Structure 1
Amino acid sequence: MKENKKAVRLKLYQNMVNYKKPTSFQIKETYPLPPYSTVIGMVHNLCDYKEYKEMKVSIQGKYHSKVNDLYTRYEFKNGMKYDPERHQLQVGEFGISRGISTAELLVDVELMIHIIPQDQSLVSEIENAFLKPREYPSLGRREDLVTIQEVKAVNIFEEELKEDIELNENFTAYIPLDMIGESIVVDEGISGIGNRGTRYKITKDYKLINHGTAKKPKIFRVWNKIDVLYSSKITAIEDEIIFKDSDNNIIFWA
């Protein structure tokens, strides 16, 4: 067994939450688990980091059901003048439309997240930030509060398995596609189709790119997106080398 790194393991609970898909507008659709960027943002906020800290993240979890909820939606067009027959609100000479729309909400979400900072000296700092948060933590929307059930610093090992290890019962995970193969397999079930699941491109971090000039900069975020398979019934195979924590949990870091 080879010890590689230390991580902060979080076990979190959320009553109702939306992890919004960026391409959904009429209905605020939700990812089944929080994106890497959302988790990294929560860590940076609680630690009060002013610049980006490189880190790897492993995300596993489950939810009980999914419901729809109404919310107030505001729409405006750049430069459109106020029209009392069209707009409900007036700001200066401009008009804003107000209406209702629908958001998907996951119910009774349980998460197990591993935070592996590149700078290993930050492990205790991140652990303390969750043990004694400076504000009530949220994950997803600002109002999606988090109940912290466990915060624990753990060791991450690279190990050749003596026996198969299965993902926690009923849990799902984001598995980077480059991890799926001989060491990590997804149960084919009744269908006989191997590696069943849903493929996503999940945002992790971004770089600021100037598409303008030095005098007239036009700064855009260019996201680093991770190809993952979202699935359950995941097994790490005997005699293969995988990463796991000191409590025998499989790590799917990205």
Structure 2
Amino acid sequence: MKVLKLKLFQETACYKKPFAFKVGETYPLPPYSTVKGMLHKILKVEEGSPPVPMRISIQGNYESKFVNYQSMYFFKPNETTKMPLNIHLLYNVQLIIHVDAVEEVLNRIVEGLKNLEEHLSLGRKEDLVRIDEVKYVEVKSYDPDLEGESFIIQNPIYIPVDSLPSDVDGINYRLNWKYNVVNGLRQWDKIDVKYVEEGTEITDEVQVDNDGEPGDLIYFNTTLI
């Protein structure tokens, strides 16, 4: 199976958690909906159009985390108020994203990246993205029983709970994926995942790409929808 692999860099990023109002807390990696939104922008999918069927695997690392002070403005009738807000920022973020979709969609993403009309961002508008590599890779299986050694995770990664290896644990998150508009409001479908750290050993069979040995780990978030 052929999928698209993106290597991205961000000097700073905040993937803000919902309902974090007094402190701008960030996820350690961008949630699925945030990455899909970036891909939809590349594909020029208009707001309100049906989502493009795809599935995503997200992994990556960052050098450090720091706190930035910002002012939050609230607009009310005849009044504007201001409140201080601490924003958690990730510094020097390296991301590896695998995208599975029909070939025509993957080709459109590649062409869209070559012909961007404005800069890409991931997280906040000011969290700019540098595209370090775009390539097609093949997905293959890595079986520790056949290879003679366990698979060691090289980058922190989101693993859906329903795909979690039997001997692996991590930090629980419920990540937005796609939404339906009901009575004018977005209702999100969420995916339960574990954020699994680098260095974790996996003894179950896993999927990896063919980009090096043994290749980068892949855990897609859903079926192809």
- TM-score, normalised to structure 1's length? 0.77
Match of 1:135 among 111, 118, 142: 118
Asked if structure 2 preserves the Cα contact closer than 8 Å seen for 1:58 and 1:174, the reply is: yes
Write out aligned runs for 1:1-254 (5 A): 5-50=1-46, 51=49, 52-77=51-76, 80=77, 94-117=78-101, 119-158=102-141, 160-161=143-144, 162-163=146-147, 164-168=150-154, 171-182=155-166, 185-186=167-168, 195=169, 197-209=170-182, 218-232=183-197, 233-237=199-203, 240-247=204-211, 248-254=215-221
Displacement after TM superposition at 1:202 (Å): 0.6
Deviations 1:89-134 (A, max 9, x none): xxxxx211124321110111111111112x3321111122224433
Distance apart, 1:158 and its partner CA: 4.7
Residue segments in structure 2 that go unaligned for 5+ positions in a row: none
* CA displacement 1:177-202 (0-9 Å, x = unmatched): 111134xx43xxxxxxxx2x210001
SS in 2 for 1:64: strand
Q: For residues 117-174 of structure 1, what are the alpha-carbon distances to aligned partners after superposition, in whole Å with 9 as ceiling and x for unaligned? A: 2x33211111222244332111000010011111111122356452232222xx2111
1:219 Cα deviation from its structure 2 partner? 2.0
Choose 1 or 2 for highest CA Rg.
1
Q: Which stretches in structure 1 are left out of the alignment for 5+ residues?
A: 81-93, 187-194, 210-217
What is the TM-score of this pair, normalised by structure 2?
0.87
CA shift in 2, pair 1:131/1:167, >3 Å: farther
Distance change in 2, residues 1:6/1:134 (3 Å): farther
- Label 1:106 to 1:42 Cα distance change in 2 as closer, same or farther (>3 A): same
Distance in 1 between the 2:152 and 2:218 partners?
Answer: 11
Letter in 2 for 1:7: V
**Size of the alignment, in residue pairs?**
211
Secondary structure at the counterpart of residue 129 of structure 1: helix
Secondary structure of the structure 1 residue equivalent to 2:112: helix
Matched letter for residue 38 of structure 1: T
CA contact (8 A) 2:165 2:202 kept: no
* Percent identity (aligned): 36
Letter in 2 for 1:95: E
